[in-house]
A = this chain, B = another copy of it.
Amino acid sequence: MPKVSEEHLEARREQILEGARRAFARHGYEGATVGRLEEEIGLSRGAIFNYYPDKWSLFYELASRDQHELTTLLMEQGLDATIRHLTTESPEWMAVYFEVLRILRRDPDRMEEFLARGGEGREEEVKAWIHGLHESGEFRDDVTLEDITAFVNVVANGIALLTSLGLPLEADALVKLVHQGIDPPK
Protein backbone atom coordinates (compact mmCIF):
# COMPACT_ATOMS: atom_id res chain seq x y z
CA MET A 1 0.00 0.00 0.00
CA PRO A 2 1.51 3.41 -0.92
CA LYS A 3 2.52 5.68 1.93
CA VAL A 4 0.05 8.43 1.02
CA SER A 5 -2.83 6.06 1.52
CA GLU A 6 -1.65 5.04 4.97
CA GLU A 7 -1.38 8.68 5.94
CA HIS A 8 -4.86 9.22 4.66
CA LEU A 9 -6.20 6.32 6.72
CA GLU A 10 -4.46 7.67 9.79
CA ALA A 11 -5.87 11.18 9.27
CA ARG A 12 -9.35 9.73 8.81
CA ARG A 13 -8.99 7.75 12.00
CA GLU A 14 -7.98 10.89 13.91
CA GLN A 15 -10.89 12.84 12.46
CA ILE A 16 -13.27 10.11 13.59
CA LEU A 17 -11.87 9.92 17.12
CA GLU A 18 -11.81 13.69 17.62
CA GLY A 19 -15.39 14.02 16.41
CA ALA A 20 -16.53 11.10 18.54
CA ARG A 21 -14.92 12.66 21.62
CA ARG A 22 -16.84 15.89 20.98
CA ALA A 23 -20.08 13.98 20.43
CA PHE A 24 -19.69 12.00 23.67
CA ALA A 25 -18.72 15.09 25.66
CA ARG A 26 -21.66 17.04 24.29
CA HIS A 27 -24.40 14.40 24.42
CA GLY A 28 -23.15 11.75 26.84
CA TYR A 29 -22.44 8.15 25.86
CA GLU A 30 -26.05 7.04 25.50
CA GLY A 31 -27.05 10.39 24.00
CA ALA A 32 -24.41 10.14 21.27
CA THR A 33 -26.66 8.59 18.64
CA VAL A 34 -25.31 7.51 15.28
CA GLY A 35 -26.80 10.67 13.77
CA ARG A 36 -24.98 12.86 16.29
CA LEU A 37 -21.73 10.98 15.73
CA GLU A 38 -22.07 11.56 11.98
CA GLU A 39 -22.72 15.24 12.58
CA GLU A 40 -19.72 15.84 14.86
CA ILE A 41 -17.37 13.65 12.82
CA GLY A 42 -18.52 14.93 9.43
CA LEU A 43 -18.64 11.46 7.88
CA SER A 44 -21.41 8.97 7.13
CA ARG A 45 -22.09 6.05 9.45
CA GLY A 46 -20.79 3.74 6.74
CA ALA A 47 -17.42 5.52 6.73
CA ILE A 48 -17.24 5.70 10.55
CA PHE A 49 -18.09 2.08 11.21
CA ASN A 50 -15.63 1.05 8.54
CA TYR A 51 -12.91 2.17 10.96
CA TYR A 52 -14.56 1.28 14.27
CA PRO A 53 -17.18 -1.47 14.29
CA ASP A 54 -19.49 0.22 16.81
CA LYS A 55 -19.96 3.05 19.32
CA TRP A 56 -18.37 1.04 22.10
CA SER A 57 -15.16 0.59 20.04
CA LEU A 58 -14.98 4.34 19.53
CA PHE A 59 -15.28 5.05 23.23
CA TYR A 60 -12.92 2.23 24.15
CA GLU A 61 -10.25 3.58 21.83
CA LEU A 62 -10.60 7.11 23.26
CA ALA A 63 -10.46 5.79 26.83
CA SER A 64 -7.41 3.64 26.01
CA ARG A 65 -5.62 6.67 24.59
CA ASP A 66 -6.44 8.70 27.70
CA GLN A 67 -5.17 5.88 29.86
CA HIS A 68 -1.98 5.64 27.82
CA GLU A 69 -1.43 9.39 28.12
CA LEU A 70 -2.09 9.38 31.86
CA THR A 71 0.26 6.45 32.41
CA THR A 72 2.99 8.19 30.42
CA LEU A 73 2.43 11.41 32.35
CA LEU A 74 2.62 9.52 35.64
CA MET A 75 5.87 7.76 34.79
CA GLU A 76 7.56 10.70 33.08
CA GLN A 77 6.42 13.62 35.22
CA GLY A 78 5.24 11.95 38.39
CA LEU A 79 2.22 11.91 40.64
CA ASP A 80 1.97 15.67 41.22
CA ALA A 81 1.69 16.44 37.51
CA THR A 82 -0.89 13.66 37.16
CA ILE A 83 -3.04 14.99 40.02
CA ARG A 84 -2.84 18.48 38.53
CA HIS A 85 -3.79 17.14 35.12
CA LEU A 86 -6.86 15.37 36.55
CA THR A 87 -8.15 18.58 38.15
CA THR A 88 -8.08 20.32 34.75
CA GLU A 89 -9.91 17.65 32.76
CA SER A 90 -13.10 18.57 30.93
CA PRO A 91 -16.10 17.94 33.23
CA GLU A 92 -18.19 16.89 30.23
CA TRP A 93 -15.67 14.31 29.13
CA MET A 94 -15.07 13.02 32.66
CA ALA A 95 -18.82 12.64 33.08
CA VAL A 96 -18.90 10.29 30.10
CA TYR A 97 -16.53 7.97 31.97
CA PHE A 98 -18.82 7.78 34.94
CA GLU A 99 -21.81 7.21 32.72
CA VAL A 100 -19.98 4.33 31.01
CA LEU A 101 -18.84 2.85 34.33
CA ARG A 102 -22.44 2.92 35.49
CA ILE A 103 -23.54 1.04 32.38
CA LEU A 104 -20.70 -1.50 32.73
CA ARG A 105 -21.69 -2.37 36.30
CA ARG A 106 -24.24 -4.75 34.78
CA ASP A 107 -21.61 -6.30 32.50
CA PRO A 108 -18.71 -7.59 34.67
CA ASP A 109 -16.69 -9.07 31.76
CA ARG A 110 -16.72 -5.87 29.81
CA MET A 111 -16.02 -3.91 33.01
CA GLU A 112 -12.90 -5.96 33.64
CA GLU A 113 -11.74 -5.49 30.06
CA PHE A 114 -12.42 -1.76 30.34
CA LEU A 115 -10.54 -1.34 33.62
CA ALA A 116 -7.55 -3.13 32.06
CA ARG A 117 -7.53 -0.79 29.04
CA GLY A 118 -4.26 0.73 28.02
CA GLY A 119 -2.72 -2.57 29.00
CA GLU A 120 -0.26 -3.67 26.30
CA GLY A 121 2.05 -4.85 29.04
CA ARG A 122 2.06 -1.39 30.59
CA GLU A 123 0.57 -2.66 33.82
CA GLU A 124 3.81 -4.53 34.43
CA GLU A 125 5.78 -1.47 33.39
CA VAL A 126 3.89 0.72 35.85
CA LYS A 127 4.22 -1.86 38.63
CA ALA A 128 7.96 -2.04 38.05
CA TRP A 129 8.19 1.74 38.07
CA ILE A 130 6.30 2.04 41.36
CA HIS A 131 8.35 -0.77 42.83
CA GLY A 132 11.53 1.10 41.85
CA LEU A 133 10.29 4.24 43.58
CA HIS A 134 9.49 2.23 46.67
CA GLU A 135 12.93 0.62 46.68
CA SER A 136 14.62 4.01 46.42
CA GLY A 137 12.74 5.26 49.49
CA GLU A 138 10.20 7.52 47.79
CA PHE A 139 7.35 6.16 49.92
CA ARG A 140 6.96 5.50 53.60
CA ASP A 141 7.82 1.91 54.40
CA ASP A 142 5.36 1.34 57.24
CA VAL A 143 2.55 0.52 54.80
CA THR A 144 2.55 -1.87 51.86
CA LEU A 145 2.96 -0.77 48.28
CA GLU A 146 -0.53 -2.14 47.58
CA ASP A 147 -1.94 0.17 50.24
CA ILE A 148 -0.17 3.16 48.72
CA THR A 149 -1.45 2.25 45.27
CA ALA A 150 -5.01 1.81 46.56
CA PHE A 151 -4.85 5.16 48.36
CA VAL A 152 -3.60 6.99 45.27
CA ASN A 153 -6.29 5.25 43.23
CA VAL A 154 -8.98 6.44 45.65
CA VAL A 155 -7.67 10.01 45.49
CA ALA A 156 -7.43 9.98 41.68
CA ASN A 157 -10.99 8.67 41.38
CA GLY A 158 -12.27 11.22 43.87
CA ILE A 159 -10.64 14.03 41.88
CA ALA A 160 -12.01 12.72 38.59
CA LEU A 161 -15.48 12.45 40.09
CA LEU A 162 -15.57 15.95 41.60
CA THR A 163 -14.11 17.33 38.37
CA SER A 164 -16.85 15.60 36.39
CA LEU A 165 -19.41 17.41 38.56
CA GLY A 166 -17.80 20.74 37.73
CA LEU A 167 -16.64 21.27 41.31
CA PRO A 168 -13.31 23.13 41.25
CA LEU A 169 -10.42 21.60 43.18
CA GLU A 170 -7.28 23.25 44.52
CA ALA A 171 -4.55 21.03 43.08
CA ASP A 172 -1.70 22.44 45.22
CA ALA A 173 -3.37 21.48 48.47
CA LEU A 174 -4.29 18.01 47.24
CA VAL A 175 -0.75 17.35 46.05
CA LYS A 176 0.61 18.44 49.41
CA LEU A 177 -1.76 16.29 51.48
CA VAL A 178 -1.31 13.22 49.29
CA HIS A 179 2.44 13.55 49.75
CA GLN A 180 2.03 13.83 53.47
CA GLY A 181 0.09 10.59 53.22
CA ILE A 182 2.62 8.61 51.24
CA ASP A 183 6.05 10.23 51.72
CA PRO A 184 8.46 8.83 54.27
CA PRO A 185 8.39 10.77 57.56
CA LYS A 186 10.94 13.58 57.55
Contact = CB atoms under 8 A, between A and B. Distances in A.
A102 B102 contact: yes
Contacts of A166: 105
Interface stretch (A35-43, A49-57, A127-135, A144-152): A144-152
A148 B153 CA distance: 18
Given A147-B170, A147-B173, A159 B165 contact: no
Interface residues of A, number: 41
Contact of A102 (B99, B147, B178, B182): B99
> Oligomeric state, in number of copies?
2
Interface string A18-56: 000000000010000000000000000000000000000
A181 B178 CA distance: 6
Nearest to A182: B177
A159 B150 CA distance: 10
Interface in A88-112: 91, 95, 98-99, 101-102, 105, 111
Interface of A: 28, 91, 95, 98-99, 101-102, 105, 111, 140, 143-144, 146-148, 150-151, 153-159, 161-162, 164-166, 169-170, 173-174, 176-178, 180-182, 185-186
17 contacts: A28-B102, A98-B102, A143-B177, A146-B170, A148-B177, A150-B170, A150-B173, A154-B155, A157-B157, A158-B158, A177-B182, A180-B180, A180-B181, A180-B182, A181-B181, A185-B185, A185-B186
